[in-house]
Amino acid sequence: MDFKDLSFPEAPLIKIPPPGPKSKEYLDYQASHEGSAVSYPKGMPMAIRRARGATVEDVDGNIYIDFFGGAGVMNVGHANPAVSEAASKQLSELTHSLDIPNPARKALVENLLTLLPKDLNRIFFGGPTGSDAVEAALKLARYNSRRYPLIAFEGGYHGMSAGALSLSSGLVFKEDFLPLLPEVHFVPYAYCYRCAFGREPDTCGLECVQYLEHVVEDPHSGVGRPAAVIVEAIQGEGGSIVPPDEFIPRVRAVCDKYEILMVVDEIQAGFCRTGKMFSFEHTGTVPDIMTMSKALGGIGFPISGIAYREYLDTWPGGKHIGTFRGNVLAYAAGSEALNFMVQNNLAEHALNLGEVMLVWLKELEEDSKVVGEVRGKGLMLGVELVRDKATKEPAPELAREVRAICHRWGLLIEIGGHYGNVARFLPPLVLTEEMARKGTELFSDAVKTAEKSLK
Ligand SMILES: Cc1ncc(COP(=O)(O)O)c(C=O)c1O
């Protein structure tokens, strides 16, 4: 299939500087009637009318290239025709069944089991959000191990519900709500651009994993033997951080040695985004428990779940429940989305296009005084912005300015990273090379423009 046909061809097209008058009406209404915790409209002020493929149209008729992808949900593209049709057909058949089996649910489980390694042969759907999958994973780990402590990584993001938030490192998310779950401990991720140990990747011997082992092994580390280590094989919110190849295998080895369950969070990196169906497949390891959500619902139908090894399937009925245990529309859409991913080699497309975009972005890194590092895998890319390349002083205000300029010029991007200074790209994977080039050029120009205003 030619992915070109899925998007609005005229993107980017700015008819009226956003937010235009119609968008303003929606934004004003929202500001005076909805809770002040809404966040995305503050960074990308607009109201959305419709979206197709890798493009989004606002209510004023402006059309954007979407490098944001609904925060990594829209892997098969907005309003993907085959997926929309599957969901429409399901709509008139059955839309809610708690966890009682039905044809759409069975089909999705079958589909997932053909794509997962054979060791991950149990699927469990919980509540509709990724956070709920994380809650399920930590409960399953605790239930089986009969241990309480958990280890997570600096820069990790796992969601907003109490357990998931406890495992997320960003203070901006949690500092007003502490204390959360006790006995959650953080260790440094292999964030080599800002190594916690001041080491260089070629010679460090992965000191971060050595430290993890020290924490687990030393009876005076202050950390009880953990139920699980939870990790993203490629960190998303932490700043699109791709660890060295040996990092995840070495974490796996520590987990094996000390009989700790390894949970890999695939909520953002899964479903072809990084060039494999699941990002752990780059590492030659298989987790004990894997979380999934976001793109699992095809075109944004909320659903989450976990896949795990059969021997862990000891918990009795009712240990993790809720009114929405899976989502029948999402099963139908998700199955069709998985078919689309496989039939269109979406993982390979994401991998190849990501490599091309990294080459373009590397040119920006060389030319610009404020691009500290560009990195990523597949279509999970990050550009770390700094005030000074030598000191690496983070430039979050610059990242916000770049996002604002991109928005005004017709490109949607995300911001993340430890210091809020990483411009992040999570486009629908049906992005074409032509659209990717337009978007990257626009982004590069935005960086150069914003750089001039840096005080
Ligand atoms: C890696 C990861 N885990 C968990 C979550 C939480 O998912 P949700 O926002 O659906 O609760 C996210 C959300 O961005 C994520 O990126």
Q: Where are the domains of the chain?
A: 3-66+345-452, 81-343
- What was the pLDDT predicted at 119? 98
From the CB of 265, is ligand 1 less than 6 Å away?
Answer: yes
- What integer pLDDT is reported at residue 453 of this predicted model? 86
Strands 380-385 and 371-377: antiparallel
- CA nearest 119: which of 262, 226, 248, 271? 262
Mean pLDDT within 92-102: 97
Q: Is the pTM of this model over 0.95?
A: yes
Q: Is 126 in the pocket of ligand 1 (CB under 6 A)?
A: no
Q: Closest ligand 1 atom, CA of 232?
A: 1
Average pLDDT of the segment spanning 65-81 = 98
Long-range contacts of 20-25 (CB under 8 A, 24+ apart): 20/46, 20/58, 20/59, 20/60, 20/61, 20/62, 21/60, 22/47, 22/58, 22/59, 22/60, 23/47, 23/58, 23/59, 23/60
Is the peptide bond preceding residue 179 cis, with omega within 30 degrees of 0? yes
Q: Give me the mean pLDDT over the 54-73 stretch.
A: 98
Ligand 1 site, residue 440, Cβ cutoff 6 A: no
pLDDT at position 138: 98
Supply the mean pLDDT for the chain.
98
Which atom from ligand 1 is nearest to the alpha carbon of 237? 16
> The tokens of 28 are what?
């004003």
State pLDDT tens for residues 35-61: 999 999 999 999 999 999 999 999 999
Q: Is the pLDDT of residue 310 over 90?
A: yes
C-beta of 236 in contact with ligand 1 (< 6 A):
yes
149 CA to middle of ligand 1, Å? 21
Any bridge partners for residue 263, and if so which? 230, 289
Residue nearest to atom 16 of ligand 1 (CA): 268
Compute, in angstroms, the gap from residue 389 CA to the centroid of ligand 1. 31
Q: Which atom of ligand 1 is nearest to the CA of 161?
A: 11
Site to substitute for ligand 1 among 74, 138, 157, 274, most atoms within 8 A of C-beta: 157
Percent of the chain with pLDDT over 90: 99
pLDDT, one tens digit per residue, over 370-401 is 999 999 999 999 999 999 999 999 999 999 99
- Model confidence over 193-211: pLDDT tens digits? 999 999 999 999 999 999 9
Could you tell me the distance, in angstroms and rounded to a whole number, from the CA of residue 320 to the centre of ligand 1?
18
pLDDT tens-place string over residues 223-271: 999 999 999 999 999 999 999 999 999 999 999 999 999 999 999 999 9
pLDDT at position 398: 98
pLDDT at 217: 98
Residue nearest to atom 6 of ligand 1 (CA): 159
Answer yes or no: is the C-beta of 71 below 6 A from any ligand 1 atom: yes
Q: Which of 328, 321, 422 is nearest to 370 (CA)?
A: 422
Cβ–ligand 1 distance for 127 under 6 Å, the answer no
Q: Indicate whether residue 235 lines ligand 1 (CB < 6 A).
A: no
Residue 288 CA, distance from chain mean position: 20
What b-and-e string marks burial along 400-420, b requiring 16 or more CB atoms within 10 Å of the CB?
bbbbbbbbebbbbbbbbbbbb
Whole-number pLDDT of residue 455: 78
Residue with CA at minimum distance from ligand 1 atom 8: 130
**Helix spans in 180-327 (H):** 207-217, 247-257
* pLDDT reading at 454 higher than 90: no
Task: Give pLDDT tens digits for 174-193.
Answer: 999 999 999 999 999 999 99
CA 218 to ligand 1 centroid distance, Å: 32
Two tokens, residue 269: 């990196």
- Kindly report, residue by residue over 276-303, the tens digit of the pLDDT: 999 999 999 999 999 999 999 999 999 9
State which ligand 1 atom lies nearest to the alpha carbon of 156: 1
Residue 168 C-alpha from the chain's centroid: 13
The reply to whether ligand 1 has any atom less than 6 angstroms from the CB of 129 is yes
Q: Quick check: CB of 240 below 6 Å from ligand 1?
A: no
Task: Compute the distance between CA of residue 438 and CA of residue 171 in angstroms, rounded to an integer.
Answer: 35
**pLDDT at residue number 1:** 87
Please state the rounded mean pLDDT for residues 347-374.
Answer: 98
Residues 6+ apart with CB under 8 A from 262: 228, 229, 231, 251, 252, 255, 285, 287, 288, 289
138 CA to centre of ligand 1 in angstroms: 14
pLDDT for the residue numbered 268: 98
Q: What is the pLDDT of residue 314?
A: 98
Quote the CA–CA distance of 156 and 90 in Å, as a whole number. 36
- State what percent of residues in the chain have pLDDT above 70: 100
Q: Indicate the helix (H) or strand (E) that contains 231.
A: strand 228-231
Q: What is the DSSP string of 177-211?
A: G---SSSEEEE----GGG-TT---TTTS--HHHHH
* Angle separating helix axes 207-217 and 247-257, nearest 10 degrees: 10
CATH fold group of domain 81-343: Aspartate Aminotransferase; domain 2 (3.40.640)
Topology adopted by domain 3-66+345-452:
Aspartate Aminotransferase, domain 1 (3.90.1150)
Cα–Cα distance measured from residue 406 to residue 448, given in angstroms and rounded to the nearest whole number: 11
60 CB less than 6 Å from ligand 1? no
